[in-house]
Amino acid sequence: MSSPMLYGGRGTPFWDWLGQMMDGTPEPRDGAVIAADSNNNVVRRMEFQGALITEVGFPALDASSNDTAYLTVKFKPESTALNPGSGKLTSPANARQKLWHAANFRLQLGDLPCKRVSKIDAFVLKQEVAESRHGGSDIITLLSQDIAVPDLAPTFSALDYQPWQDFFDDFVLRGNSSDSHELEGTLDYLAPDLKTVLGTVQLHHVGIFKLAPEEVDPTGETIARFKAELYVERNRLFVGGLP
């Protein structure tokens, strides 16, 4: 499923479920995917039980884009049942969506200059899920396993190149890559006013492993930029910004 970022706020069950997965404390949830016609009459319900989130995909960000951005969530249930629908589809209270655009973001990473970060590549968190069957039974129990935290790849103006190069030289070439040399940071998703924080991904234990000029079309006019590739050991999601 996908959703414009962000729907609801702190304490909304969906975002609590998502935050638990990213925080390493996943919980199974029951629910339903409801299909309705153009008049909001419910025509069928796909009910599911014991679902665990398996992927959370964050889209590419680009300061020059006019596109609406979407968060993609995949989950795996222990069982499903397709049932006929009845009644009307109603929206939850306070279900007004706050649209998130790919251009509206803010990165902070230690003391590195990030105000001219113009792009961040899409990234996907993946939760490994194993199936368990007891005594030859057809009943499946899902067991959460390790979370694969993706790398982060920001692109920034060449005007800010030197501090990033200094970080790379110290961390990679000189080998100063212990926990104390890793960085902490945040990636904020902003409303159109570029002030209101819709959501924040907190970045823990960030290190750099690649820094290179951005590949450009030599026939076109463009601003010189560099792209960094960073590992992130752990992250957390906060709807509405940090508490």
For residue 95, pLDDT over 60 is answered with no
Rounded CA-CA distance 176/172 in Å is: 7
134-158 residue pLDDT tens: 766 677 777 777 888 999 999 999 9
**Domain of 58, in residue numbers:** 2-239
Place of tokens 């006929």: 84
Bridge partner list, 2: 72
Report how many helices (DSSP H) and strands (DSSP E) the chain contains, helices first: 2, 14
Distance linking the first and last C-alpha atoms of the chain: 27
For residue 222, pLDDT over 80 is answered with no
Residues 6+ apart with CB under 8 A from 175: none
Task: Name the token pair of 47.
Answer: 């009910």
- Single-letter amino acid, residue 49: Q
Number of domains in the chain: 1
For residue 201, pLDDT over 90 is answered with yes
Question: pLDDT higher for 1 or 213?
Answer: 213
Q: How far is CA 161 from CA 181, 215, 223, in A?
A: 19, 15, 13
DSSP state of 214: P
Read off the pLDDT band of 218 (50, 70, 90): low
Bridge partner list, 127: 147
